[in-house]
A = this chain, B = another copy of it.
Amino acid sequence: MNNTELKSYMQSVGQQARAASRIVAKADTALKNQALIAMADAIVRDEQKLLAANAKDLENAHAKELEAALVDRLTLSAKGVANMAEGLLQIAALADPVGAISGLDYRPSGIQVGKMRVPLGVIGIIYEARPNVTADAAGLCLKAGNAAILRGGSEAIHSNQAIAACVREGLHVAGLPETAVQVIETTDRAAVGELITMQDFVDVIVPRGGKGLIERISNEARVPVIKHLDGVCHVYIDDQADLDKAIRIADNAKTQRYGTCNTMETLLIHAGIANEILPALSKIYLDKGVELRGDAAACALVTQMNAATEEDWFAEYLAPILSIRIVENLDQAIDHISYYSSQHTDAIVTENYTRARRFMREVDSSSVMVNTSTRFADGFEYGLGAEIGISTDKIHARGPVGLEGLTSQKYVVFGDGQIRQ
């Protein structure tokens, strides 16, 4: 496609999405669930087709010598296919947010005012290698009454198209417009530039992927973006912490999984308790192969620790590396977090009531925790059912974004002939 053709293709995708969004916004719960279940059925039935399409993408990835981590994210197993179908069934089982009315209170004038949850309209999802996002995002957007335009990574184009065929089939079975979920057919990067500037046809963009992708999209978008940039998560162990809880939490927050955005990257320890807890904790980390990087005070307590640099405090390692700092008190811990945290998820371990309350109030992150592991910051763990991503923004949605984050609320007013005086 040349530039003119691309622009006209994207405009037509946008127009069709807008038209479809009006229909899915009105669709009742049973119809949307029927589509989701039919999508899942098609995915289960087409397992071999999906794996074959994925094999083609993997072949190209190997030919292009793409990096191992990317190939890993690109790979779809039989279990991955089953999980996609299962995810769609789980979304079907969630309560329908659309049309729910809350807070319907009478006012002194006699009118009754409440808020009705409504779809956002058209949601553009831009993602990288993981093909399962195609099914997850399609399902979440549809259940929330939105049309979706999906733009996956070029390396996953065959997998995404094969999944998209199952999604379209599900929509067709339920009698919903197949254009309610469209997967961009071109791998041209300029398509992203069009998608994020079509203000008439796209209501919000959700980018999922590396920091580079998300920064580029945020800077160039002319429609609102729900994004999370990175997860530099902290655990602060207070000197009034329960030591058993502290060790269990600090271990879990770092080592339960290394590559996730809610993994702890920096551990802060109150100076009054550091020599009591740090040697034991360090042994756990070192036994699991975690590289430790500390400030001078931490290094003085543990021989197998490297000196941390200023960059370490900002780093999202996504790897078995942990930076450790000894702080004088809660204020210094909060100051450190205010300065270095990416406002994703931060936790305090303490038995002190007032310090717990201060930490919860003053730490300005999308999730703030007391006496538990940062690894819990997740849509499933929070009971949202599923998530389209985790927002570190403050506007519209913050933290794990589920069906509610993909909707808005309008005011509804019921009267019996009241007029304004």
A417 touches B361 (CB 8 A): no
Q: In terms of DSSP, what is the predominant structure of the interface of chain A?
A: mixed
Binary per-residue interface labels of chain A (353-373) against chain B in the complex, 1 for a CB within 8 Å, 0 otherwise:
000000011101111111111
- Shortest CB distance A258–B (Å): 13
B394 touches A109 (CB 8 A): no
A360 touches B411 (CB 8 A): no
Interface size on A, residues (CB 8 A): 64
When distances are taken between beta carbons in the complex, the residues of chain B under 8 Å from A22 are 338
Asked if A409 lies at the interface with its beta carbon under 8 angstroms from chain B, I say yes
Among candidates B338, B373, B398, B417, residue contacting A411 with C-beta atoms closer than 8 Å: B398
Asked if A256 lies at the interface with its beta carbon under 8 angstroms from chain B, I say yes
When distances are taken between beta carbons in the complex, the residues of chain B under 8 Å from A41 are none
B99 touches A411 (CB 8 A): no
Asked if A337 lies at the interface with its beta carbon under 8 angstroms from chain B, I say no
When distances are taken between beta carbons in the complex, the residues of chain B under 8 Å from A412 are 360, 367-369
Asked if A399 lies at the interface with its beta carbon under 8 angstroms from chain B, I say yes
Q: Given the interface contacts A362-B26, A372-B413, A381-B420, does A398 sit within 8 Å of B408 by beta carbon?
A: yes
Among candidates B120, B394, B408, residue contacting A120 with C-beta atoms closer than 8 Å: B394
When distances are taken between beta carbons in the complex, the residues of chain B under 8 Å from A204 are 395
| Complex-state Cα separation, A313 to B219, whole angstroms | 37
Question: In chain A, residues 381-398, which have Cβ atoms closer than 8 Å to a Cβ of chain B?
Answer: 381-383, 394-396, 398
B417 touches A367 (CB 8 A): no
B395 touches A203 (CB 8 A): yes
**Can you pick out 17 interface pairs between chain A and chain B where the beta carbons lie within 8 Å of each other?**
A26-B361, A107-B381, A107-B383, A111-B372, A111-B376, A113-B382, A120-B394, A204-B395, A244-B417, A256-B419, A369-B414, A373-B415, A373-B418, A375-B419, A376-B413, A398-B410, A398-B411
Q: Could you list which residues of chain A lie within 8 angstroms of chain B, going by C-beta atoms?
A: 22, 25-26, 99, 105, 107, 109, 111, 113, 116, 118, 120-121, 203-204, 224, 242, 244-245, 248-249, 251-252, 256, 338, 347, 360-362, 364-373, 375-377, 381-383, 394-396, 398-400, 408-420
